[in-house]
Amino acid sequence: MPLILCLSISLHGQEKEAKKEAFRKYLESSGVVDSLTKVLVALYEQNDKPSSAIEFIQQKLGGPTVTEYEKLQAELSDLQMKYEDLLESHKKTCKELEQLKISHSNEPTTGASEEGPKDGLEHDKERITAP
């Protein structure tokens, strides 16, 4: 085997080991190793072993059970459908509003406002006199 190939394989192996070691240190420093150890010890100490070790571990780590997960998935699906319906309704309402704005702006306007005075009183410029 050529020397260069041997060095390449050796360096690749060392690089791989360094990555593994860095990941192991990361897991230790972030508390993952301790949490997993505690959960596995709790599973080991169970007199009646659970039918699903995975579900036991999920519960101990604070995750949802399989049943809870399935319920959340169904709820998510329902909410996504409601969102799509509401989004479609919103788009339709926006189009209707835009059409109303266009038709309102195309109507001929008269000198007086259709609403009339805001305070409900009729104002006549001729009756108002300066002091």
Q: Is residue 128, in this structure, part of any structural domain at all?
A: no
pLDDT of residue 66: 79
Q: Report how far residue 96's alpha carbon sits from residue 127's, in angstroms, rounded to the nearest whole number.
A: 43
Judge if 18 and 42 occupy the same domain.
yes
Judge if 23 and 41 occupy the same domain.
yes
How many residues appear in the chain?
Answer: 131
pLDDT of residue 67: 85
Q: Residue 89, Cα to own-chain centre: how many angstroms?
A: 22
Q: Is residue 4, in this structure, part of any structural domain at all?
A: no
Judge if 13 and 27 occupy the same domain.
yes
Give the number of domains in the chain.
2
pLDDT (tens place) for every residue of the chain, 131 residues total: 565 655 566 767 788 889 999 999 999 999 999 999 999 999 999 999 999 999 899 889 988 877 888 999 999 999 999 999 999 999 999 999 999 999 988 887 665 555 555 555 455 545 555 45
Q: Report how far residue 56's alpha carbon sits from residue 45's, in angstroms, rounded to the nearest whole number.
A: 12
Percent helix, strand and coil across the chain, each to the nearest 5: 70, 0, 30
* Structural domain boundaries enclosing 18: 9-63
Q: Is residue 92, in this structure, part of any structural domain at all?
A: yes
Encoded tokens for 99: 């059409």
